[in-house]
Amino acid sequence: MLLASEAPIYGRFGYGPATYTAQLTVPRHKAALAVPRARGVADAPATGSDNGSVEVLRRAECGEILEEVYDRYRRAQPGALSRPHRWWGLRAGQPPISPAPRYVAVHRDADGVPDGYASYSVESGTLTVDETIATDDAVFTALAWFVLGHDLVSQVVFKHVPPGHPLRWQFADFRAGEVSGDMDWLWARLLDVPRALTARGWFTDGELVLDIDDPFLAEHGRYLLTVRDGKADCVPTDRKPDLSMDVRDLGSVYLGGTAPSTLVRAGHIQAHRPGAATLADSLFRADRPPHCLHWF
């Protein structure tokens, strides 16, 4: 895994863009939330409130809380990287790991257990959220509403919003949030194809023969991928392929952030039979869009 300084460089080494991120800017005067329309929540107030609470702490006061909450979050989020204890201890990198002064809004559940946080700074009327970590969407909404209600700011900037995030849909004015900086983030490179494919989770049963070319390592392999009950088996085969692709394209689809059919349409993956791309889309999808907040 890596972050690419320039997109053209790393493809020739077998890396493909695997997660994407964007920035959402919300003028505070447009930040009203819509009343939920789904049954069971339609009577909920449009305030982002839940049964928990939010407490503002200084960064120096909550290091252990951030580390513990982030670790729980990353174990359930495809594409999230681990942050070893020594990283937090060294305080190297970007906020909120670094010693840069930050406010931290810590969300606690009804039992007082921390289950989310938003790290932010305020300067010249703009509140900038470095990262929002939440164990579920309700916690994210509560934290978002908290920062959107901050006094003496004209706009709130959410850095690193994952693709398809529901926040834009929660505003009464759908155009309240302006999306910018839509870009690739984490790039992936598979070295051991069978081991990588059997290590990830799967949500649909199916069978595909994948023909994988790795020009940089001068390797070529054909594998039968069989998925049953969330587990995969991947073995070499001489059967005719369903899909042929470069290893960089396998890196892009591996985490579920890029649909194989998109790369078929782009002319990078070749589908050898009708329905192969559709099946691949179903197989490689993740339970949520993969996302990486970490800069390294």
Dump pLDDT digits (tens) for 193-226: 999 999 999 999 999 999 999 999 999 999 999 9
Report the percentage of the chain scoring pLDDT > 70. 96
Residue 227 pLDDT exceeds 50 = yes
Residue 184 pLDDT exceeds 60 = yes
Among 184, 213, 245, identify where a domain stops: 184
**22-36 average pLDDT score:** 94
Residue 69 pLDDT:
97
Residue 51 pLDDT exceeds 90 = no
Residue 206: which region, alpha, beta or left (left: phi > 0; alpha: psi -120 to 50)? left
Of residues 93 and 79, more confidently modeled:
79
**Mean pLDDT estimate for the chain:** 93
Q: pLDDT digits over 107-164, tens only?
A: 999 999 999 999 999 999 999 999 999 989 999 999 999 999 999 999 999 999 999 8
Same domain, yes or no, for 151 and 205?
Answer: no
Among 158, 184, 210, identify where a domain stops: 184
**9-29 average pLDDT score:** 96
Residue 134's domain spans which residues? 20-184
Most confident of 55-64, 162-171, 208-217: 208-217
Q: Is residue 293 one of the residues assigned to a domain?
A: no
Residue 246 pLDDT exceeds 50 = yes
Residue 112 pLDDT:
96
Same domain, yes or no, for 73 and 205?
Answer: no
CATH of the domain at 156: 3.40.630.30
Residue 282 pLDDT:
97
Contact 118, 143 (CB under 8 A): yes
244 CB-near residues (< 8 Å, 6+ apart):
210, 211, 213, 269, 270, 272
Classified as helix, coil or strand, 150 is: coil
**160-179 average pLDDT score:** 93
What's the one-letter identity of residue 133?
A: I
Same domain, yes or no, for 145 and 199?
Answer: no
Specify the pTM: 0.91
Q: Is residue 217 one of the residues assigned to a domain?
A: yes
Residue 45 pLDDT:
44
Of residues 257 and 59, more confidently modeled:
257
Same domain, yes or no, for 161 and 216?
Answer: no
**83-103 average pLDDT score:** 90
Q: Where are the alpha helices (DSSP H) in the chain?
A: 7-10, 63-76, 85-90, 137-148, 193-199, 247-254, 260-265, 276-284
**267-286 average pLDDT score:** 97
Residue 38 pLDDT:
87
Q: Is residue 7 one of the residues assigned to a domain?
A: no
Among 133, 155, 184, identify where a domain stops: 184
